[in-house]
Amino acid sequence: MARLPVTEESLIEQYGPHLNHEPAGGWAAGGEPDRLVKTHCCFCGVQCGIQLKVKENQVVGFEPWEEFPVNRGMLCPKGVKRYLQDGHPDRLLSPLIRTETGFREATWEQSIDAVADNIRRIQGKYGRDSFALLSGASLTNEKAYLMGKLARVALKTKNIDYNGRLCMVSAGAASRKAFGVDRAANPWSDLPLAKCIIIAGSNLGECFPILTDYVWRARDNGAKIIVIDPRATPVGRTADLLLPVKPGRDSALMNGILNVCIQRGWIDRAFIEQSTNGFEELRKTVASYTPERTAEISGVPAAAIERAAELWGTAPTGMLIHARGIEHHTKGVENCLTCINLCLATGKIGKPGSGYAMITGQGNGQGGREHGQRCNQLPSGRDIENPEHRRVVAERWGVPEPELPGVGLASTEMMEAIHKGEIKGLLLICFNPLISLPDTDYTRAALEKLEFFGVIDFFMSETARHADVVLPGSLQEEDEGTVTTAEGRVVHIAQAVTPPGKAREDWKIICDIARKFAPWEQFPYSCPEDIFRELRHVSRGGPIDYYGITYDRIDREHGVFWPCPDLEHPGTPRLYEGGKFFHPDGKARFHPVEYRPPAEDVDVEYPVILTSGRVVSQYLSGTQTRRIGPLVDQYPEPLVEIHPKLAAKVGVRTGDRVTVTSRRGAVTLGCQVVKTIRPDTIFIPYHWAGDKSANKLTIRALDPVSKIPEYKVCAVRLEKAV
Ligand code: SF4
C-alpha cells in the first residue's frame, strides 16, 4: 500500500477516516498493470513524483515513487485520487461546434478551419489585437512557450495572458524588483535547516500538504514556527506563534516586525552594507510602525508582534514562505516586498536554511510564467519592452523585430476590453474564468458579447459551455513535456497514455492553428522534445537560462534547477549564495512600503470581511477535482466559515444556511461555525460554480503592478436564509 503523507493523522482527525480508505479495487484497481510510468502529480506546484499504473492505454492506479526526493513517495489526498479522472465519462472525445440547437460533433479539419476563419475575419475587420488568447499555468513549459509564439509570431496579436495572473504575479513582480529575477530563492530541502520559519498567508496543511513534512522536520530540529493568517488553519494550530492578521493588513504587520528587529539590533549590518541598496530609506519608513500602531492597524496584539520579531531576529537561520494569502490584494506586490525586506535586513537569504520562497498553487505556476505567455513577457523571462531582449528573441525566431507586438492586456483586464468592444474574439486553453475571475456575473456577460469564442480543454468546463468551438485537448498524463516546480526544479512529465477518442495532445492542436497563419518552418515540431530544444536555445543567455537542461538530464538527476547555462552546469538549487543578486550591480534592493487600506473596506451596510481560498480536497476551479468522487465526498459544497460571535449576531448555527451579499451579488450557502477564524471575517472556498460561486461576491479591484485581483478582502453582509 502506498505511504500516505506524514500529515495523515492530523488530516484524518480533521477530515475523517475516509483518508485511510483505498480506492475501489485497491491500488491495483483494474488488475496487474501493463507498465508503470514515472511522472508527476497533475495538481499543485509541489509536483510530487508518482508512478502511474497503465493498463490497456488507461491509467488504472498508482504506486509511490520513493526515489523522487521532493515527496519520497508521499502524496496528499488529491494526489492519491488524481488517477480517477482518467476515463471519466465527462471526457471530451470529439471537437464540437455550436449550432442553433446546441453543440454538434465535427471533424478536426472543420473545427480548426472554423477557428482560423474566425480569427481571420475578426482580425481583418477590427485589427490584430481584437483577437486575444488566454492560456493556463497548468500547461507544460513547451505549451506555454508555444502559446506565446502562436500569439506573437502567427497571429501577431499583443493580447495574450494566462491564469497565473490570478496566482503568482504579485510574488513574481516583487522578486524581480528586489532580487532581479523571479524564482523561489531556496529549495524545499533548506526548510528543515531553518531555526525559524514564517508562513505568511498559506493554508499549507490543506493546499500543499506535502510541504508540512518539511516544516515539521524543521520543528523536530528545534525550529520555531510563526504563522500569519486570519484563520487558524491546520498548520497555524500547531505553530509556536499564530498572528491572526486582519485581512488586507499584511504590509503593516511586516513593517512592524521589521521595525522591532531594527530597534533591537536583530539585523545583519554587514550583509546590508555589502549586498543591498536602499536600507536607510526603508529604516525611516518602518520607524513609525511601532508595535502599538501596528497592532491597531493589523489586529495582531503588540506583544505578539514583538515576540515574532524576537523569534525571527534572534534565530541563526530562517526561511519565510508565503502564498496567495498575502498576494491576492490590491497591494499584493507591496505585501511580498515587505516580506523580502525582512529577509534581506536580517541577512536571512542565500544560505543553507536561510531564504525566501513563494509557493505556487498551479502545477506549472513557475514555468508557466517564464516562457512568454504573459502579456508583458517574451520567452525566458525576457522583457517585451527591452529592445535588446526583443532583438534576441526575434533573431532566434527568425522574424523582424518590429513585427513582435508590444505589451498586451492582462487576463484580468481582458473582460473589461470585451465589454468595451476592444476584444471581439478569444481562444482559451485550460482556464476557467467563469469560476476563477472575480465578479462572475461581469465575466459571464463578457463571454456572451464575444463574436467568436474557442476553447481547448479536456472537460466541458463552465466556461467552455459558452464557446462556439470546443477542441478536445489532453489530460496531463496524455501528453509529454516539462514543468518547473515551485522550487525552480525542471521535471519531466511523461506521456502515460494517448488521448481517447478523437481528443488530441494540446501541442498538436496549437501547432495546427499556428500553421494556418505561419509557415511550417516556424512551427516545425514533431514532438514536445523538439519544442523544448528550441525553448532551451531561445533562453540561452537570458534571465531564465534553460540551455543546459535536457530531458535525459532531468530523468537522470530527478530534475534540474535553473539557471543552468550549459550542459556541464550542475543547476542552481539555491539562489543568491554569497550575497550575489541578479541586478546589474549584483545587489538586492529594499523597497519601502507604506501601508494602505484595501480597495473595499467594511462599512455600516457591508460590515463583514470576506476572504476566500482552497480546501484540501479541491483544486482551483474544480474542473478536475469536482469530477473525482472521493474528493467530492470529502467536501461536497462550499461552506461559510464563521466565528461563534458573528454567528450569534446573525442568528445561525452550524448547518443553517446563510445569505452572503456583496455589492456584486449574493450566494446562499450552508455555514460552519468555527473558532478558527477572526470574528470580523468569514471564509468561503472558491472551487464551485453558479449559485455556489464565491467569486459572485469578490471585487474586480486589481494590484496596479501585478494586475492580480483582491480575492482576499471585500465587504459583505450576512443574513440567515429563510
Ligand atoms: Fe503533491 Fe500537490 Fe499533488 Fe498533493 S496536490 S500530491 S502536494 S503535487
Please give the distance, rounded to the nearest whole angstrom, from the Cα atom of residue 71 to the centre of ligand 1. 9
Confidence band (pLDDT; 50, 70, 90) for 14? very low
Q: What is the pLDDT of residue 427?
A: 98
Q: What is the pLDDT of residue 23?
A: 42
Please give the distance, rounded to the nearest whole angstrom, from the Cα atom of residue 56 to the centre of ligand 1. 26
With 60 as the cut, is the pLDDT of residue 68 above it?
Answer: yes
Q: What average pLDDT score do residues 383-393 get?
A: 97
- DSSP assignment string, 531-599: HHHHHHHHHTTSSS--TT--HHHHHHHT-EESP--STT----SS-SGGG--SSTTS-EE---------S
With 90 as the cut, is the pLDDT of residue 326 above it?
Answer: yes
Distance CA 546, CA 571 (A): 9
Residue list, ligand 1 pocket, CB within 6 Å = 41, 43-44, 46-48, 71, 75-76, 78-79, 208-210
Distance CA 158, CA 349 (A): 37
| pLDDT tens digits, 232-257 | 999 999 999 999 999 999 999 999 99
Please give the distance, rounded to the nearest whole angstrom, from the Cα atom of residue 477 to the centre of ligand 1. 15
- Which residue has the CA at smallest separation from atom 2 of ligand 1? 44
- Which residue has the CA at smallest separation from atom 4 of ligand 1? 76
Distance CA 711, CA 166 (A): 9
Q: What average pLDDT score do residues 275-300 get?
A: 98
Residue 43's CB: how many other CB atoms inside 10 A?
Answer: 24
With 70 as the cut, is the pLDDT of residue 201 above it?
Answer: yes
Closest atom of ligand 1 to 42 CA is 3
Q: What average pLDDT score do residues 140-147 get?
A: 98
Q: What is the pLDDT of residue 10?
A: 42
- Which residue has the CA at smallest separation from atom 8 of ligand 1? 47
Dihedral angle, C-alpha 421, 427, 431, 433, nearest 10 °: 20
Please, are residues 497 and 54 in contact by the beta-carbon 8 Å criterion?
Answer: yes
Q: Which of 76, 366, 493, 617 to mutate to test the pocket of ligand 1 (most atoms within 8 A of CB)?
A: 76
- Amino acid (one-letter) located at 712: K
Distance CA 572, CA 279 (A): 28
- Which residue has the CA at smallest separation from atom 1 of ligand 1? 48
Please give the distance, rounded to the nearest whole angstrom, from the Cα atom of residue 241 to the centre of ligand 1. 26
Q: Which of 15, 81, 208, 366 to mutate to test the pocket of ligand 1 (most atoms within 8 A of CB)?
A: 208
Q: What average pLDDT score do residues 265-286 get?
A: 98
Q: What is the pLDDT of residue 19?
A: 35
Please give the distance, rounded to the nearest whole angstrom, from the Cα atom of residue 48 to the centre of ligand 1. 6
Q: What is the pLDDT of residue 25?
A: 36
Q: Which of 41, 489, 615, 618 to mutate to test the pocket of ligand 1 (most atoms within 8 A of CB)?
A: 41
CA distances, 459 to each of 313, 368, 505, 587, 675 (Å): 49, 21, 14, 47, 38
Q: What average pLDDT score do residues 203-210 get?
A: 90
Percent of the chain exceeding pLDDT 90 equals 87
User: Cα angle at 490 between 484 and 494, to 5 degrees?
Assistant: 95
Closest atom of ligand 1 to 211 CA is 7
Please give the distance, rounded to the nearest whole angstrom, from the Cα atom of residue 363 to the centre of ligand 1. 9
Structure letter (DSSP) for residue 69: T
Confidence band (pLDDT; 50, 70, 90) for 31? low
Please, are residues 456 and 509 in contact by the beta-carbon 8 Å criterion?
Answer: yes
- Which residue has the CA at smallest separation from atom 6 of ligand 1? 79
Q: What average pLDDT score do residues 166-179 get?
A: 94
Bridge partners for 493 per DSSP = 481
Q: What average pLDDT score do residues 630-658 get?
A: 94
- Mean pLDDT for the chain? 93
Closest atom of ligand 1 to 40 CA is 8
Q: What is the pLDDT of residue 306?
A: 98
With 90 as the cut, is the pLDDT of residue 711 above it?
Answer: yes
Please give the distance, rounded to the nearest whole angstrom, from the Cα atom of residue 632 to the centre of ligand 1. 17
With 90 as the cut, is the pLDDT of residue 30 above it?
Answer: no
With 60 as the cut, is the pLDDT of residue 566 above it?
Answer: yes
| pLDDT tens digits, 96-109 | 999 999 999 999 99
Q: What average pLDDT score do residues 7-16 get?
A: 40
Q: What is the pLDDT of residue 338?
A: 98
Please give the distance, rounded to the nearest whole angstrom, from the Cα atom of residue 620 to the centre of ligand 1. 13
Closest atom of ligand 1 to 208 CA is 7
CA distances, 236 to each of 70, 199, 201, 204, 257 (Å): 23, 9, 10, 9, 18
With 70 as the cut, is the pLDDT of residue 114 above it?
Answer: yes
Host H or E run for residue 61: strand 58-64
Closest atom of ligand 1 to 77 CA is 4
**pTM of this prediction exceeds 0.75:** yes
Please give the distance, rounded to the nearest whole angstrom, from the Cα atom of residue 42 to the centre of ligand 1. 8
Q: Which of 71, 84, 210 to mutate to test the pocket of ligand 1 (most atoms within 8 A of CB)?
A: 210
Q: What is the pLDDT of residue 624?
A: 82
Distance CA 67, CA 468 (A): 46
Q: What is the pLDDT of residue 9?
A: 46
Tell me the three cell numbers of residue 215: 516544516
Please give the distance, rounded to the nearest whole angstrom, from the Cα atom of residue 531 to the centre of ligand 1. 27
Host H or E run for residue 105: strand 102-105
Q: What is the pLDDT of residue 292?
A: 98
**Counting Cβ atoms within 10 Å, is residue 101 exposed (0-12), middle (13-18) or buried (19+)?**
exposed
Dihedral angle, C-alpha 517, 428, 328, 242, nearest 10 °: -120
Please give the distance, rounded to the nearest whole angstrom, from the Cα atom of residue 175 to the centre of ligand 1. 24
CA proximity to 440, closest of 698, 133, 206, 232: 698
With 50 as the cut, is the pLDDT of residue 335 above it?
Answer: yes
Please give the distance, rounded to the nearest whole angstrom, from the Cα atom of residue 128 to the centre of ligand 1. 40
- Of 34-38, 359-363, 636-640, give the lowest mean pLDDT range: 359-363
Please give the distance, rounded to the nearest whole angstrom, from the Cα atom of residue 210 to the centre of ligand 1. 7
